[in-house]
Amino acid sequence: MNVLLFILQKEFRLIFRDRIILAMMVVLPTMQLIIIPLAINFEVKNVNLSVIDGDQSTWSHRLISKIASSGYFRIISTETSYKAAVKHIANGESDIVMEIPAGFERDLVKEGVQKTGLSLDAINGTKASIGGAYLAGILNDFTHNLPTYGYSTPLLERPAPSIEVIYSNWYNPSEEYKYYVVPGILVLLLTLIGGFISALNIVREKEAGTIEQINVTPIKKWQFIVGKMIPFWVIGMLVFTLELGVVRVVYGIYPAGDFVVLYSFAAIYLLALLGFGLLISTISSTQIQAMFIAFFFMMVFMLMSGLFTTVDSMPHWARTVSNLTPITHFLRVVRMIVLKGSGFADLRPELLYEISFAIVLNGWAILNYRKTT
């Protein structure tokens, strides 16, 4: 233990001596956690819409007004021909073209049915599909309330049977994107900081030449790896606490679950993550090599963790790769604790995953470290 304490004393002195690294680990994640969730918004608004009003009737004008007042669409033009409206899509000015045919009001009154054409710009597939779904919902609501627009009798003598769906949203009743995005960004920043900084740790000793002096001492390999890990684990837990404070103050998100459960998983996850970074550091010869290797794996972790796309919608091979990364399980854990209030009983599989990752990655780093050249 005395040897380990000497290593820890050395590492903490190096960390506090390098103020740039300390700022990168503390200040930058805080700033990014404040800015990034404000930019990443899964709500689709300001969909540019071009309208072709071939009817020019009272109902077509009311429909256009209803769409414009919904808050989701921005009507950039009202054209008289389909060819003129499609030019706005070709020029990237419009996302959707809606065509109201001639006889729109007459056919609704007489037959109760009318077709409306939608042309979507599929280059931005997400915006087009979600915007089209919003527009279809507005059209459906408009036709459902048609008798209130100055008509005392229903459109059809015998309306078609319908099923009314009453639903409720659990754990995120208001469907605000921040409750889904902010915990994910918190995990991502902790992963990037912990993974990159630890990956540069041992290799920095190699470039400075001090690794040779350490190798000739009687320090054991596990003492060296643990001594390198603990300072960054302590700072990582402090950064995690700071980020939770930012989440609370800036976004008003307070974990529904127990802090003991949340911090227990964070502590184990950091052990696994730092072990992974130290493993990269033992493999690399220079800091540039370590940065490129860490960047490659961090990109894989980020894109396949379920932060931006649901893991269940991935192909089978991608789900397998995703489940073999510790960030996937920790991201699921943080969301379940923060939003759902889950405990150890609900998160037992993820706990076993994280413990396994921590043991395997740190054991691998110890075995891979060589005291001889």
**Domain extents in the chain:** 2-40+180-368, 47-148
Q: What is the pLDDT of residue 149?
A: 45
Assign a CATH topology to domain 47-148: abc type-2 transporter like fold (3.40.1710)
- Map tokens 């902790």 to a residue: 190
Identity of residue 18 = D
Supply the mean pLDDT for the chain.
81
| Beta-bridge partners for 120 | 96
Q: What is the pLDDT of residue 151?
A: 44
Token pair belonging to 35: 């800015």
Give the closest residue to 277 by CA, choosing from 310, 314, 228: 228
CB 194 within 8 A of CB 285: no
pLDDT in tens, the chain (373 residues): 677 788 788 878 877 777 777 777 778 788 888 887 777 766 677 788 889 888 888 888 888 898 888 888 889 888 888 888 888 887 778 888 888 888 888 877 776 667 788 888 776 666 677 778 888 888 878 777 665 444 444 444 444 444 344 555 667 776 677 888 888 888 988 888 888 888 888 888 888 777 777 777 778 888 888 888 888 899 889 989 999 999 999 888 888 889 999 999 999 999 999 999 989 988 888 888 888 898 888 888 888 888 777 787 788 888 888 888 899 999 989 988 988 888 898 899 999 999 999 999 999 988 888 766 5
Dihedral of CA atoms 216, 217, 219, 224 in degrees, nearest 10, equals -60
Q: What is the pLDDT of residue 147?
A: 55
**d(C-alpha 259, C-alpha 244), whole Å:** 11
Q: What is the pLDDT of residue 123?
A: 67
